[in-house]
Structure 1
Amino acid sequence: MRSWLKVFLIGLALWVATIAVTMWTLNSNLIPTVVLLGSFLVPVTFVVWAYERGRSEHVTVELLFRAFIVGGVLGVLGASLLETWLLQPSIWMYMGVGFIEEGVKLLALLFVARHLRHRTLRDGLVLGATVGFGFAAFESAGYAFNAMFTESGHLSLQQLVETEVLRGLLAPLGHGLWTAIVGGVLFSGAGLLPILLAYLGVSVLHALWDSMRGIAIALTMVFTGRQWQFDQLRIGQVPAVTDGQVHMYTFLDWLGLTIISVIALLWLRGLSKRPQSQ
């Protein structure tokens, strides 16, 4: 059995066991364990998978560990500070989030790889993915922690688990994928322009991913909106929606996420096929 599959199955078993014991005993001391296991399971699994597929004499397990922990923590700290200082609620907010988060992950990658003398495209893919998955793991832990609290102030293990499952399913198509692309271009020996274009491209994909709910709502209204709904919107009221509009919104939301993911995966595949001498 491959190492990444062992990591996933063992981690999954521990996470499920922890959830079961927490539900059975109502011991809130176990909640941090549920949060950490659920948030780190998929990111760590994919880091092991990437390392096995892109094994290199230059990228050691120690370096991978630093990239995941140090790169991930520096990324979330930098993103939190910059987003607090620079962003205000607006239609362009998610574009700012994309540029900030992809920028801090790129800087974190440069920091953890600063002593790496020999760099190849494959090294950049693996280390970039590792920094990205580290970022995703710590970010997911925060989302899971917040999801645990209900509006009435009580703790909800169900909401926590649902959030971790959803973010775990989407994790391979997010931060790790985008930072792997930039890392591969950066370490491939390409000039400044290809690196800037890669950064611009993944930042736009990131922004579209984060704003897809709003885009899906807008498209649903364009395609199926009724006059009375537009009238309510004009006076600042939130109109009721039909069952058909709910289904349309869900379809457009997932269609958009799928298109973004396919673009990123094809981009990554194209990079991975390049000769290592580039």
Structure 2
Amino acid sequence: MAIKLTRVARAERTAEPHEHFVHLPTRLWKLLLAGGLVTWLIAAVVTEATNDTILVPTVIIVGSFMVPVTMAAFALSRRREGYLTTEEVVLGFLLAGTLGVVATALLETYLLPSASGTFIAVGWIEEFGKGAVLLVVAHQVHHREPRDGMVLGAVVGAGFAAFESAGYALQVVLENADRISVVAVLEIEAFRAVLAPFGHITWTALIGGALFASSRGGRFHLTHGLVLTIVGVVTLHALWDQSYGWAVMLTRGIVMDVGWQLLWPNAQFWAIPPTGSDLFWFNTIYDVLLAIWSVIGATWVVVAWRRYAAKRDDQPSSLPSGAERSMTA
């Protein structure tokens, strides 16, 4: 009898909302975005005016973390079951941004060839790294709902994107060590900030939803849905990374009329950077390709979110009546 009571008590604690379950107000992500943007621009202007290197980390950190943190807050404010704890959210963000980024960089350095094929391999390595972090944190979640999995995946992807963007911004600073190029830092951070919601955050959210949907009896299973989602996400990631090479190829073949160099995977780069109208068409083609992959990813996220919600509504509630009343109150 004591064992049965213990199990019931544990089930009720798992099912009922608790004060440490994370569900943020909708207005918070808006405040984070607005406040972060103002702080970022002020820090950039002051840094450019004073040429004070002490302010450079502020520009890098605020600019790199602004959109990923905003998107994490946005995901945590969505209406869902809400069984993620503060510990799980913070752990997912920090592990992805630290160990996840370091591990994937190490693997890419020593495992990838220097020629063709790198973009496909990068997709596998980075999604594997984020997926490993997601799996570690997901084992701490006792009540696994697919939409919570998507939110946790978005948080993991946000952590990875934030720290990665900070690295790219720092690289720009080091390349211009003789003079602080605030404009160059702003350009790379703004570009990555605009794309952040549609890259790592979207991809890991999709894997997180599929991972939680595969959970049965407290264990994760390698289901067809999970496998197809992983393959689809890696393909989308590879196409995203491949877009630069394709933009080079299309610009040279169509606009510059210097001949075609068809490679798959295509790893072309500019021997001499384009200028004038050639640069305009290259940027246009590159942006269009990224926009296509962004639309596909965003549409996939919306469809998956609604499908998981529909499945949840169709299933009979397994919560105790008291917990069910408290969630709908």
TM above 0.5:
yes
How many aligned positions are there?
272
* Aligned partner of residue 142 in structure 2, secondary structure: coil
Task: Give the whole-Å Cα distance in 1 for the aligned partners of 2:176 and 2:97.
Answer: 30
2:102 counterpart (49, 53, 77) = 77
2:229 counterpart (189, 194, 198) = 198
* Preserved CA contact (<8 Å) 1:121 1:276: no
* Preserved CA contact (<8 Å) 1:79 1:100: yes
Provide the residue aligned with 1:49 in structure 2. 74
* Preserved CA contact (<8 Å) 1:98 1:206: yes
* Preserved CA contact (<8 Å) 1:54 1:122: no
Provide the residue aligned with 1:221 in structure 2. 252
Which segments of 5 or more consecutive residues in structure 2 lack a partner in the other structure? 1-25, 216-221, 262-269, 316-329
* Preserved CA contact (<8 Å) 1:109 1:183: yes
- The amino acid of 1:28's aligned partner reads T
User: Residue 194 of structure 1: CA displacement?
Assistant: 1.8
* Preserved CA contact (<8 Å) 2:43 2:55: yes
2:52 counterpart (17, 21, 27) = 27
Task: Give the whole-Å Cα distance in 2 for the aligned partners of 1:181 and 1:217.
Answer: 30
* Aligned partner of residue 53 in structure 1, secondary structure: coil
Larger Rg: 2
Which segments of 5 or more consecutive residues in structure 1 lack a partner in the other structure? none
Deviation by residue 1:13-47 (Cα, 9 ceiling, x = unmatched): 22222223323332211111111111000000010
* Preserved CA contact (<8 Å) 2:249 2:260: no
Provide the residue aligned with 2:292 in structure 1. 259
- The amino acid of 1:206's aligned partner reads H
* Aligned partner of residue 297 in structure 2, secondary structure: helix
**Stretch deviating more after TM superposition (58-67 or 138-147):** 58-67
Provide the residue aligned with 2:182 in structure 1. 157
* CA shift in 2, pair 1:188/1:231, >3 Å: closer
**Stretch deviating more after TM superposition (138-147 or 200-209):** 200-209
Q: TM-score, normalised by structure 2?
A: 0.76
Aligned residues: CA RMSD: 2.4
Task: Give the whole-Å Cα distance in 2 for the aligned partners of 1:13 and 1:224.
Answer: 39
* Aligned partner of residue 38 in structure 2, secondary structure: helix
- The amino acid of 2:282's aligned partner reads Y
User: Residue 82 of structure 1: CA displacement?
Assistant: 0.8
* Preserved CA contact (<8 Å) 2:214 2:223: no
